[in-house]
């Protein structure tokens, strides 16, 4: 041996291509084909990490996705990536990696002092400790100590991509079982995708005997030559979803400049083959987390794949034949184990004979009691019929059996069963279109005795670790059992067992066995938690794909966006649109501009862009019946050429949106929604149409983006329209309040609705979106002699509050029903069914104390803050809150809207409100409950103005 690497061998490394890389600032050597983990072992970096809570010394335990201990920070600056498993990072020239959760180094970590206070930090200590006197006293310290690696503060320079793929068969796992199944399906002419998270094929068999390697190479070549097979290495299937949908994360190897770093694949298939293999289970004994203690399968993988040996004097602690075979494999490669300890009473077999003949100490019916060492393993204490004996070793390879990797099966709602002979859960064949093969189905796994559980109360035994990364011990599980947290879901959250980045791959079954032992239950009675995606951590950027920066939450522009900018609009985001808040003149503040715009609309005329309002056309013979079913108000008796305001509710009777609906003269309807409720409403109506009322002859189409809406509001708005060149009869007789007409402008169709959200004479002019800019210019020119002004959303909001008009989302919450916002009469008059009728008419809708929409007049002349609470008459609690508040330029005083308990019966009552304020000092306000509408309460200005 030279160092920790054999002088020859290693199926995955190229010894002719040496690499130089850096670990924690120090230069180390490696070869192409190494992982960071194998290179660390080859350089004798056994102590490579610290645990999360107690900062105990930790080393590698696994060789793949199961690794819980050695997480690394990769790269620096903008390209820094935290918390990657060292076992999954391919070594490259110049690669920079560093340990996480330790300072200044794994060998000397100042936070290692936590080990001394471990008795004071048991499971769930934070649930019990930090409640008194105030959590916020402890919060800064807890947040500073929490976390592992450091996320970069600079923008990610890499790009990510999404792909959408379908196939006949998805094979998950590129081991021998998966490849064999894939070949069988391919020979039948089916389209096959094979996804393997490793960069190589063969699974746990890779790097074995020359005969195995040759057979594997022939199988891979046969598959690669077929046009109906797609082989995807470095591709992790991280999630199984409904209807055979899967999420895959594909790492792009040797990518060119500008190519994506990762690709998220949305895949659908007709059939799935789960060949995900099995994960070896560690043994439970005191100090079983010392650096140098490793899974036997991991030690074997490093030996075969990279020619790396984890120690000079290697011991084995086993309870199954696979452990003996691993020891025999080391012997064949010229590395003689120091000893093999088997807990079974009478182990036998050819591997045992070979080892004994080679001079290896063999112990049957014996077990490891305790590992010795501080920063790395120095030896173990073994007990058996011979008594107790200390054995020297610097590496211990352990195997307690294997757990089939059933995570994806469980994600797809598959059931599991307990196998006594394997001491593990195996998947049941209960999912349609799923086939489970190989070790994932429990086939080919060695039999093991029941899981041996050390006495959690034996003080001399030290700590027995179950979850390595989260520092969960057998005593922690015992504490959970003692305090009645025996449900598997409670156990998980009380102790954090299985909540680390490895998601309990090596710890879950042992933890469940410990809980079962302590509570006298079988593992099937303890059960398992539902495995959740992702199976292994996935980069956030992969989920986002191209949806980042400006594309993360794309802001839509109005059709006449450029004209608004020329008019001096101050643009802000409202929902998904960039819209004018106001049009400040030079030297004007935003508040001054809002006041000017409101005054201009009240006195003359203003132009507002309402294009984002939802517009859903409803066609078909049953359109009127459908409208009646979806609206709180009655629509079946709405005459053609008329509009009606209505509310929309969920099945529970809770308000979700409002809008103005139009009955066109051809019998179709235009269902109007709020700007923010368009997608929500369309999705709900489409679901009902397809699933609840498929018998209705109705077709819907969302035309919001096809039609722009320009609103003229103010006493002079009719005069502007008459001079604009729009061809339509605008007389009050032909187009009364809540009337609808269709005409033309420059030979293009125009729709006019006489509806008002400002309380003034108002016309909503709808035109094709590409005509919006021209029409806006014509309307502004036609209104010049009237002093027309463009006005923004803030001015409109002031006017709607003056009128006491509802804004869903401001004046409503998740409990508001139609009768709470003065729609009770409409609700009672409608005899036919509609979405939400049953919920709105339930007794809860008539309960005393329901919050109802009212107005508030300030008694001291100050503006009432939004969110201020009404002090309850009892002196404690809240009777409601302010929802909208302004200082009205029209009224010359403050006015507010509020939702107040029994508000309808409390008009005229003086109340006190309390608000915390920005300075957290709090202030009391005085107000009188009044009607919501404070301006033109009889509505004459919007109904009768000529």
Convert the pLDDT of each residue in 408-443 to its tens digit. Answer: 999 999 999 999 999 999 999 878 999 999 999 999
For 535-573, write each residue's pLDDT tens digit. Answer: 999 999 999 999 988 888 888 999 999 999 999 999 999
Percentage of the chain lying above the pLDDT 90 cut = 83
Ramachandran sector of residue 415 (left: φ over 0; alpha: ψ -120 to 50; beta: rest): beta
Q: How confident is the model at residue 10 (pLDDT cuts 50, 70, 90)?
A: very high
pLDDT at 671: 98
Mean pLDDT of the chain: 93
Alpha-carbon gap, residue 940 to 110, rounded angstroms: 77
In this prediction, residue 386 carries a pLDDT of: 86
Q: For 715-763, write each residue's pLDDT tens digit.
A: 999 999 999 999 999 999 999 999 999 999 999 999 999 999 999 999 9
Res. 3: pLDDT tops 90: no
On the question of pLDDT at 5 being above 60, the answer is yes
pLDDT digits (tens, 9 = 90+) for 686-704: 999 999 999 999 999 999 9
Q: Please enumerate in sequence order all residues whose Cβ is within 8 A of that of 377, keeping only pairs 6 or more positions apart, or say none.
A: 290, 291, 292, 293, 311, 371, 393, 394, 395, 396
- Given this model, what pLDDT does residue 881 score? 97
d(Cα 559, Cα 708) in Å, to the nearest integer? 7
For 368-386, what is the mean pLDDT?
94
Maximum CA extent, the chain:
112
Cis peptide before 104 (omega within 30 of 0): yes
Exposed, middle or buried: residue 168 (CB in 10 Å: 0-12, 13-18, 19+)?
A: middle
In this structure, are residues 5 and 309 in contact, taking their beta carbons and an 8 Å threshold? Answer: yes
Higher pLDDT, 117 or 526: 526
* pLDDT over 90 at 628, yes or no: yes
pLDDT tens-digit map of 886-940: 999 999 999 999 999 999 999 999 999 999 887 778 899 999 999 999 999 999 9
Question: In sequence order, which ranges of 8-130 are alpha helices (DSSP H)?
Answer: 36-42, 125-129
pLDDT reported for residue 2? 40
Residue 866 has pLDDT above 90, yes or no: yes
Mean pLDDT confidence for 479-499: 92
Q: pLDDT, tens digit, for every residue of 293-351?
A: 999 999 999 999 999 999 999 999 999 999 999 999 999 999 999 999 999 998 888 99
Distance, CA of 249 to CA of 237 (rounded, Å): 7
- Model confidence at 460, pLDDT cuts 50, 70, 90, reads low
What DSSP state is assigned to residue 270? E
Examine the pLDDT at 623 and tell me if it is beyond 80. yes
Whether 369 has a pLDDT exceeding 70, the answer reads: yes
Return the higher-pLDDT residue of 151 and 132.
Answer: 151
- What predicted TM-score, i.e. pTM, was given to this entire model? 0.79
State residue 461's pLDDT score.
58
pLDDT band at 219 (very low <50, low <70, confident <90, very high): very high
- What is the C-alpha to C-alpha distance for residues 352 and 876, in angstroms, rounded to an integer? 78
């Amino acid at each position: 041996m030279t160092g920790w690497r054999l002088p020859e061998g290693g199926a995955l490394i190229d010894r002719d291509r040496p690499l130089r890389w850096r670990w924690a600032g120090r230069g180390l050597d490696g070869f192409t084909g190494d992982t960071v983990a194998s290179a660390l072992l080859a350089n004798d970096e056994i102590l490579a990490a610290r645990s999360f809570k107690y900062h105990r010394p930790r080393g590698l335990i696994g060789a793949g996705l199961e690794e819980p201990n050695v997480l690394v920070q990769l790269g620096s600056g903008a390209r820094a990536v935290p918390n990657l498993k060292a076992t999954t990072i391919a070594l490259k020239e110049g690669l920079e990696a560093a340990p996480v959760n330790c300072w200044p180094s794994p060998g000397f970590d100042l936070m290692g002092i936590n080990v001394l206070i471990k008795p004071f930090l048991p499971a769930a200590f934070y649930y019990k400790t930090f409640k008194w006197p105030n959590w916020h006293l402890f919060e800064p310290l807890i947040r500073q100590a929490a976390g592992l690696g450091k996320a970069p503060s600079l923008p990610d320079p890499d790009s990510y991509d999404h792909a959408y793929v379908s196939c006949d068969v998805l094979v998950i796992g590129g081991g021998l079982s998966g490849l064999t199944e894939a070949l069988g399906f391919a020979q039948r002419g089916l389209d096959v995708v094979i996804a393997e998270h490793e960069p190589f094929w063969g699974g746990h068999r890779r790097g074995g005997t020359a005969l195995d390697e040759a057979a594997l190479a022939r199988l891979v070549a046969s598959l690669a030559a077929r046009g109906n097979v797609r082989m995807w290495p470095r591709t992790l299937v991280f999630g199984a979803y409904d209807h055979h949908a899967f999420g895959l994360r594909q790492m792009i190897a040797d990518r060119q400049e500008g190519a994506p770093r990762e690709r998220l694949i949305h895949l659908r298939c007709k059939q799935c083959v789960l060949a995900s293999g099995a994960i070896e289970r560690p043994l439970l004994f005191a100090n079983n987390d010392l650096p140098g203690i490793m899974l036997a399968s991991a030690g074997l993988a490093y030996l075969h794949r990279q020619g790396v040996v984890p120690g000079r004097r290697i011991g084995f602690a086993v309870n199954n034949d696979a452990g003996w075979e691993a020891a025999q494999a080391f012997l064949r490669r010229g590395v003689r184990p120091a000893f093999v300890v088997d807990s079974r009473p009478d182990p036998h077999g050819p591997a045992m004979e070979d080892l004994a003949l080679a001079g290896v100490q063999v112990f049957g019916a014996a077990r490891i009691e305790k590992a010795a060492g501080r920063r790395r393993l120095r030896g173990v204490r073994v007990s058996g019929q011979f008594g107790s004996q200390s054995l020297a070793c610097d590496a211990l390879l352990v195997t307690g059996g294997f757990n089939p990797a059933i995570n994806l099966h469980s994600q797809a709602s598959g059931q599991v069963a307990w196998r006594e002979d394997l001491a593990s859960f195996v998947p049941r064949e209960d999912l349609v279109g799923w086939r489970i093969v190989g070790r994932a189905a429990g086939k080919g796994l060695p039999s093991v005795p029941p899981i041996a559980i050390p006495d959690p109360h034996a003080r001399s035994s030290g700590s027995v670790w179950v979850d390595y990364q989260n520092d969960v011990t057998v005593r922690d599980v015992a504490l959970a059992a003692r305090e009645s947290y025996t449900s598997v879901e409670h156990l998980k959250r009380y102790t954090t067992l299985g909540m680390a980045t490895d998601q309990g791959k090596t710890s879950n079954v042992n933890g469940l066995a410990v809980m079962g032992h302590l509570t006298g239950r079988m593992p099937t009675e303890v059960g398992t938690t539902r495995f959740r995606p992702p199976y292994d951590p996935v980069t956030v950027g992969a989920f986002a794909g191209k949806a980042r920066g400006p594309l993360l939450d794309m802001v839509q522009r109005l059709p006449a966006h450029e004209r608004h900018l020329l008019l001096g609009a101050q643009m802000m985001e409202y929902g998904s649109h960039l819209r004018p808040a106001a049009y400040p003149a030079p030297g004007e503040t935003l508040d001054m501009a809002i006041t000017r715009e409101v005054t201009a609309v009240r006195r003359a005329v203003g132009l507002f862009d309402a294009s984002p309002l939802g517009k859903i056309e409803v066609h078909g013979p049953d359109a009127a019946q459908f409208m009646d079913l979806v609206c709180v108000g009655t629509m079946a008796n709405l005459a053609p050429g008329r509009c009606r305001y209505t509310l929309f509710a969920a099945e529970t009777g809770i308000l979700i949106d409002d809008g103005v609906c139009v009955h066109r003269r051809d019998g179709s309807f235009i269902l109007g929604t709020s700007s923010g409720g368009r997608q929500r409403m369309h999705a709900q109506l489409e679901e009902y149409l397809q699933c609840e009322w498929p018998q209705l002859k109705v077709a819907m189409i969302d035309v919001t983006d096809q039609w722009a809406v320009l609103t003229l509001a103010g006493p002079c708005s009719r005069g502007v329209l008459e001079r604009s060149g729009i061809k339509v009869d605008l007389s009050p007789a032909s187009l009364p309040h809540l009337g609808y007409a269709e005409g033309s402008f420059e030979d293009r169709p125009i729709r006019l609705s006489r509806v008002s959200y400002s309380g003034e004479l108002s016309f909503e002019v709808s035109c094709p979106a590409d005509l919006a800019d021209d029409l806006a210019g014509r309307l502004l020119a036609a209104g010049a002699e009237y002093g027309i002004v463009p006005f923004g959303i803030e001015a409109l909001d002031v006017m709607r509050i003056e009128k006491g008009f509802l804004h869903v989302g401001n004046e409503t919450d998740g409990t508001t029903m139609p009768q709470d916002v003065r729609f009770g009469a409409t609700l009672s008059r409608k005899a036919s069914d509609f979405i939400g009728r049953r919920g709105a008419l339930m007794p809860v809708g008539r309960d005393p104390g329901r919050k109802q929409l009212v107005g508030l007049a300030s008694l001291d002349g100050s503006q009432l803050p939004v969110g201020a609470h009404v002090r309850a008459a009892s002196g404690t609690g809240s009777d409601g809150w302010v929802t909208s508040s302004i200082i009205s330029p029209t009224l010359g005083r403050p006015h507010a809207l509020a939702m107040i308990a029994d508000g309808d019966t409390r008009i005229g009552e003086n109340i006190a409100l309390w608000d915390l304020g920005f300075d957290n000092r709090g202030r009391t306000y005085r107000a009188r409950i009044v009607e919501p509408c404070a301006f033109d309460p009889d509505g004459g200005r919007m109904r009768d103005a000529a």
